[in-house]
Structure formats: structure tokens, C-alpha cells
Amino acid sequence: MCGIVGYIGSQNAQDFVIDGLEKLEYRGYDSAGIAVNTGKSEFNIVKKVGRLKNLENALKENPLEGNIGIGHTRWATHGKPSDINSHPHFNKDKTLVVVHNGIIENYLELKKDLIAKGYEFVSETDTEVVVHLLDSLYEGDLLEAVKKLLKIIKGAYALGMMSISEPDRIIAARKESPLIVGLGKGENFIASDIPAILKYTRDVYLIENNEIVEIKKDSVKIMDVDGNEIKRDITHVGWDLEAASKGGYEYFMEKEIHEQPEVLVKTLNSRVDENYNINFDDAGLTKEYLSGINDIYIVACGTAYHAGLAGKHIIEKKTRIRVDVEIASEFRYRNPVIDEKTLVIVLSQSGETLDTLEAMKEAKKHGARVVAITNVVGSSIAREADHVVYTWAGPEIAVASTKAYTTQMVILNLMAIDFAYKFGKITKDEAVEDIKKLYDVEQSIQKMLEYDEKIKNAADKIKDSESMFYLGRGLDYVIAVEGALKSKEISYIHSEAFASGELKHGTIALITDGVPVVVNVTQSGLFEKSVSNIKEVTSRGAYVIAIAKEGNTVVEEVADEVFYIPDVEDDYAGFPTIVIHQLLAYYLSKLKGNDVDKPRNLAKSVTVE
């Protein structure tokens, strides 16, 4: 989603803002802009559609000199990508500027009123309404105008605002969309996410919903919407900018795929002690609490939703407790059947996914206990949940999630083992054995990374395809769904996953000569049926890439290309299998010349509905 950066201090604001926006490119964007107070009677504003490089080139010709500025990368929601629709937006005299992440829900009503008052609009955006409304409320004190503004606008927002006549402060506000303040020495920053300011400080304030913050170069004041001061502890960020760099890899996605063995072990170690005891008590998941639940919901979006599907598989199998997996954007609107005896587990890499955040609030309204699994300490979802379990994936920069998905599956597998033991479904020895098998997954993933060149060659054979399909049964199908998403989001090849047993119910009509079909064949009890499904598609001309366990060489007789995973237990076969899918998608995208880390139209953190 949109990225916001602001700077106030003694140095050149342009340099800090552009550098910060570069660190937020992973959020996805289609245009960028900057406004700087250069000491004139109006703000200097430069906005360019397309990549940040376009903005940087424009600034090389006409650099902006000033010590206070705000910038923005836009992901279009209202109005097409264009220079005009880009942020910052400004009033007629260019004396007020605003950057905004989110959606103003009542903007049409407000726009109509403002037009009646004589205001002229040049863009198609909802944000321009904010700056003209701010102008109508401004009487020489930006903070007072913002307090009035927030009582009128409805929706989700992180806002950064400046007045030309008040060159000593930036006013920012937050509701639902993420916002942090970086604390420097003689300088301070605002940003949508921590990587934007890590080069300059690791000390931050995490701004909460319905808060305003006044940023000066030597002070930061946090307030509620009425202006009452709020004291806030400083959060010290434990990771540095190097952790968010490519580390010698060409793309962040490639780096993050190769980090999976390491982060898998880190995530296991965060919950398992040296005696193989699992501890989720700090997440409220005690034996006493679990004995009183009737069912479990897992709620998420996108890749996290797919991790939830894998979680359902293992939790139901081990505990015999019903688990429903819901898409967050649907869950909140359908009046779900939940109560105080329902455990709701929400998944979000960023911890800022708005649909998941709102679904979580809906669950809490019904009395359910909400446990969040997220990768970002201090994120909105982490703060709003009753309890939080962190994955230890480290910063994930590429838009297409890889290591966050793997670590989410690790946590869900640990929960399945822990719950089963507490329910008396497995013995302590069986629990220890399962935990050891999870640790062994590290080596199976490492082995898949050795397929790198072979997978690249397979991708080269199918990169020009218009469509491709993914098949599987049981857990194989769940992993296929995520594999298809990886392919479509970064290679732009139309990719769909189907349960293999559904082939005869319509899907097989899509299989034509030469169409690539990727088939997971790792579940022992479903092996023969899966091989039969491969025969069904090859007999219709499909080019089949199969993923099977070592020793099942019969697959070579029916598939064009076979990748073997170690002979792991069925429940854990998804871990090495998904790595092959991730690498296949990566090379499809790279060979097609796409921007692997920043695919078109997508954002890392979806902070609007």
C-alpha cells in the first residue's frame, strides 16, 4: 500500500525523504511525490507517475532545498496512476500539503460540500478532499485545524500534513493505517514502516489509532483527537538495515527463499525449549483455556490464508477439533457463528492487513479470544489482539511472501502438537517425536535449494505459457493453492490450483496440448490416485512437472519433469514442496523480465479494504 515519509531537522529533507521512500518500495506503488518547504511563499512539490526513479530524475534537474518535507508512494485506489493523482496533494495556494495512506469513506459527500463553497478539484482522489477541507478549517494553527478535520472525515488513514506558515512542525494522524515516528538527535521522522528510518535511528514511537502527533526537530508530542497529551514508551528496534538488504542476492525474494532453513529453526526455538517442551502459555493457550473451546477459526488473507489452510489440516488431524479457515474480507461481513468458546487465530505477515484487523475486532465483539500470528513486533494486529505469537522470519521485503508463509506454518504445526498433547490425543513421547520431525524440515528445505539450476531450466521451458495449472490431493492441494498464487502474482501467467479429484467435474476441459500442469504427489495414502490424475492430464497433452518423494520413481513414467523431496512424513511434506513452487515462480518471473520483488498492481501490506 501507500508509503509515507516525513523529515524535520537541520539537514536537507529531500535526501531523507527519497531515501525513506526507497526503503518502502516493497509496499507496492504506482507513483511518487515530495513536498518541501524551501522558504518561499508556497511549497515546492514534485510528483511523478511510475517508479521512484522518475521522481529522482526530476529532482536531479530541480533539487529541493529545505529542512522540512513529506513524501509519498501511491498505490491507486481512487483515480488512475498519474502525476496529478499522485501525492502530496495541496490547496489552491500551495500553502498546505497532505500525504495520505488509506481511504476516506465519506469523501464524495465532503467533496460536494466543498465544491459548493467554491473549492476546485484537479485530481480524482479522495485525498484532495482532505487538503481542501483542511484549508477550510485552517485559521493559522495547523494542529487545531487537524483536530477539527479528524472529527469530520470517516475511514482509514495515516496522514502527514504541513503548513507553509508553520515551518517548525509536521502534524500527523492515524486511524487504521500504520504510522511510526522515528526519534533522532535534532531531527525526527514519520513513516509508514520502520525500514524507512532504520538508517538514521532505531528508536521509534508506534502511533495508535485515533492519535495525533506533532513532530518538531527537537520534540515529539503524541495526543488524542482532542489534543490531550499521551505518554508513550519508546520502542527500540532490534534489527538493523543490513537485515533488510539483499545480501548479495539479485532480488529480495531469492534471498528470502534461501533464508527459510534459518528462520524455520529460529521460529521453532522461540517456542520449544531444550527438553522439547512447547510453550504457548503466554499466548493464553493453556490447558485450562483450551479445554473450554468448542471450535477454532483461522482468519487471514492471501498467502497467510493459505498457511491457515495448512494449519487446518494438521490441527484437525491431531486434535479432532473443528477448524474453519476464513478469508478475512468475507469473515467480518457474514455474522460468523462464534462466541466466548471460540478461539480465533489471525495470520498477517505485516500485522497491518486492514481486513484481518477488522475481522479480529469483529471476533472480539462476539467474545472470542483472538491470538495473532504475525512477523512484525508492535504492529497494529499485534497490539489489538488478546495475545500475539511472533514468527521469527525477520524483515520480508519482497511483495511475494515466502519465509513468512513457512514460519506461519511452523507455528501452526507447533500449535497442533501442543493442543493434541494438552487434549490427551498424543503422549509426551509422541509430541517430542513430532517436534524433532519439524526440526528435520530444515535439512529437507536446504536440499530443495540445491535444485536451483534445475528449476530454472524447467521454468525456461514454460515461461511463455499463457496459463498453467496446479493439482494435488489433501495437503498437496493446500500447497498447490499457494504455489499457484506465487506464480500468478510475480510471473503474470494465469495460474490456478484445483483439487485433483475435481478434474472430471469441469477442470479437465481447460487442459490442452502443451499446457503446463504442476502436480504435488507427496501424500502416501493418495499416491496412486494422484498418479492416475497425472495420466488424465498427460493423455490430453499437458506438460507435467511433478513433485514426489524420493523412491517414488514411477512418477517419471507419467510426468515430463520430476522434482524429488526427501522421504519425510506426509504432514511435513508441504515444507520442502512449497520451496520448489517458490523457486519455480521466482525463475518464471525473472526469465520473463519482470520486477520480481515489486510485481505490478500489488502491495506488500494491504492497509485498505
Q: Which domains does the chain have, with CATH numbers?
A: 3-243 (3.60.20.10), 247-448 (3.40.50.10490), 452-591 (3.40.50.10490)
For residues 465 and 486, what is the distance between their CA atoms, to the nearest angstrom? 15
CB within 8 Å of 34: residues ≥ 6 apart: 14, 17, 18, 21, 45, 46, 47, 55, 59, 64, 69, 70, 71, 72, 88
CB within 8 Å of 176: residues ≥ 6 apart: 102, 155, 156, 157, 209, 354, 357, 380, 607
pLDDT above 70 (res 245): no
Beta strands in 126-238 (DSSP E): 155-163, 170-175, 180-183, 188-191, 203-206, 211-215, 220-224, 229-230, 235-236
Residue 466: CB atoms within 10 A of its CB come to 7
DSSP symbol at 176: B
pLDDT tens per residue across span 452-483: 999 999 999 999 999 999 999 999 999 999 99
Binned at pLDDT 50, 70 and 90, residue 604 comes out as low
Catalytic residues: 2, 604
For residues 75 and 174, what is the distance between their CA atoms, to the nearest angstrom? 18
Binned at pLDDT 50, 70 and 90, residue 128 comes out as very high
Cα–Cα nearest to 25, from 52, 59, 62, 64: 52
Cα–Cα nearest to 142, from 129, 131, 152: 131
pLDDT above 70 (res 247): no
For residues 332 and 314, what is the distance between their CA atoms, to the nearest angstrom? 25
What percent of the chain shows pLDDT beyond 90? 82
Please, is 448 exposed, middle or buried when counting C-beta atoms within 10 Å of its C-beta (0-12, 13-18, 19+)? buried
Residue 76 or 116, more confident: 116
Mean pLDDT along residues 539-553: 94
Angle, in degrees to the nearest 10, between helices 127-137 and 142-150: 120
pTM of the entire predicted model:
0.73
Cα–Cα nearest to 271, from 427, 392, 95, 182: 392
Is 28 in contact with 602 (CB distance < 8 Å)? yes
Cα–Cα nearest to 350, from 457, 193, 228, 238: 193
Binned at pLDDT 50, 70 and 90, residue 77 comes out as confident
**Helix or strand or coil: residue 430?**
helix
pLDDT tens per residue across span 294-329: 999 999 999 999 999 999 999 999 999 999 999 999
pLDDT above 60 (res 541): yes
Task: Give pLDDT, residue 281.
Answer: 87
Is 87 in contact with 98 (CB distance < 8 Å)? yes
**Helix or strand or coil: residue 222?**
strand
CB within 8 Å of 368: residues ≥ 6 apart: 297, 338, 339, 340, 342, 343, 344
Beta strands in 506-605 (DSSP E): 516-521, 543-549, 561-565
pLDDT above 70 (res 596): yes
Task: Give pLDDT, residue 503.
Answer: 82
Binned at pLDDT 50, 70 and 90, residue 98 comes out as very high
Mean pLDDT along residues 241-269: 85
For residues 126 and 190, what is the distance between their CA atoms, to the nearest angstrom? 22
Q: What is the mean pLDDT of the chain?
A: 93
What percent of the chain shows pLDDT beyond 70? 97
Cα–Cα nearest to 188, from 158, 157, 224, 214: 214
Task: Give pLDDT, residue 380.
Answer: 87
Q: Cis check for the bond before 88: say yes or no (omega within 30 of 0).
A: yes
Task: Give pLDDT, residue 111.
Answer: 97
pLDDT tens per residue across span 200-209: 999 999 999 9
In angstroms, what is the C-alpha Rg of the chain?
25
Residue 504 or 439, more confident: 439
